[in-house]
Amino acid sequence: AQRVTQPEKLLSVFKGAPVELKCNYSYSGSPELFWYVQYSRQRLQLLLRHISRESIKGFTADLNKGETSFHLKKPFAQEEDSAMYYCALSSGSRLTFGEGTQLTVNP
């Protein structure tokens, strides 16, 4: 069975500091991984997916199959990055979500 783990429920950094939100997964097949973000009072929205290898809003995430990780990184955090971040794994018809990490970027 697939599983996604986000070990940190809360993460607080200062503006301009690097940030890394951790995500580990377990899945027997070839995974497709996503990061979703939910800003305050907004709906869940797709931030990035590993197959596109894009950088969105300065965030990147690299799939490491050896470590079964898909950590989300940004070199210089901004206050507007404060939000709830969910890592998710797609297996056919469903997304399996981690429990989320609440990121707070302090001024």
For 95, the token pair is 């997304």
Minimum gap (Å) between residue 76 Cβ and another protein: 26
Q: Classify each residue of 63-97 as buried b or exposed e, where b means 16 or more C-beta atoms within 10 Å of its C-beta.
A: beeeeebbbbebeebeeebbbebbbbbbeeeeebe
For 100, the token pair is 């989320």
Q: Which stretch binds another protein (CB under 8 A): 19-27, 59-67, 74-82, 91-99?
A: 91-99
Check residue 10 for interaction with another protein (CB under 8 A). Answer: no
Site for another protein in 48-87 (CB under 8 A): 49, 86
Please give the residue ranges that form the binding site for another protein (CB under 8 A).
4, 6, 32, 34, 36, 43-46, 49, 86, 90-100
